[in-house]
Amino acid sequence: MAAYFVTGTDTDVGKTYVSSLLLQAAAQLGKRSAGYKPVSAGCDVIDGELVNDDAVQLQRAGSLALPLSTVNPIAFTPPVAPHIAAEEAGTVISTATIESGLQHIARQTPDLLIMEGAGGWRLPIGDGRYLSDVVAALKLPVIIVVGMRLGCLNHALLTAEAVQRDGLTITGWIANQVQPDMARYAQNLATLEQLMPAPLLAEVPYQGAPDEAAMAALIKQLC
């Protein structure tokens, strides 16, 4: 089984969008794929259940049939930083729950398991702890989604520095075109290719996906 942690240069940079593409591509190639969003903030309450859109997207994209509570064991209603939502709910984000949730999915032997963070790499989860501590304890390789917009160079380089300082391997980064036409896109991409300490895995076009052959090659590399 291959498991990865997908982080991003910020919230709203396309971690879920890109993770879903990877899970779908793996499924189309006959692989067992599963997404995991341990901590979410920003949910609808449907029939008494907290339903997070990221979790629903990952659940649909993966080929394993998993209940939503398995894909997303820790969920909060307001779309705010999760440790603040946890405090408001009078609860503490449990690292044991995050870890056991991953092991639970791993036991169903996916070929590709993608765990999506929330926000960026150094996400506080309360009491001086960070989601990155959990990823480090799990020793998961990291994929960085770079939301290609002005400011991403600094965010991408700082994220990569922090991941490496935490002792983790960066499998690579994905350039995600969150804007239809970023000014100097090619030059920004070239700058990151030169300065990032890990390879560019894929370019994801605005409202699109890498071509089938590129995706198949990437899934082969990741699995």
Ligand X SMILES: Nc1ncnc2c1ncn2[C@@H]1O[C@H](COP(=O)(O)OP(=O)(O)OP(=O)(O)O)[C@@H](O)[C@H]1O
> Binding to ligand DNN by residue 11, rule CB under 6 A?
yes
With contact defined as beta carbons under 8 Å apart, do 6 and 38 qualify?
no
Instruction: List the binding residues for Mg(2+).
Output: 16, 54, 116
Nearer to ligand X, 48 or 186 (CB): 186
**Binding of residue 111 to Mg ion (CB under 5 A):** no
Query: Which residue out of 31, 37, 139, 220 is catalytically annotated?
Result: 37
**Residue nearer to ligand DNN on the CB measure, 111 or 116:** 116
Site string for Mg ion, 156-185 (x = CB under 5 A): ------------------------------
Give CA separation, 86 vs 41, 42, 50, 80, 126, in Å: 9, 12, 14, 10, 8
**Binding site, annotated residues for ATP:** 12-17, 54, 116-119, 176-177, 212
Which one of 38, 43, 54, 160 is in contact with Mg ion (CB under 5 A)? Answer: 54
The CB-of-207 to ligand X minimum distance in angstroms stands at 4
Would residue 139 show up in a list of annotated catalytic residues for this protein? no
Judged by CB under 5 A, how many residues of this single chain contact Mg ion? 3
Binding footprint of ligand X on the chain (CB under 6 A): 8, 11-17, 54, 118-119, 176-178, 204, 206-207
> Which residues form the interface with ligand DNN (CB under 6 A)?
11, 41-42, 79, 81, 118-120, 123
Any idea which residues carry the catalytic annotation? 37
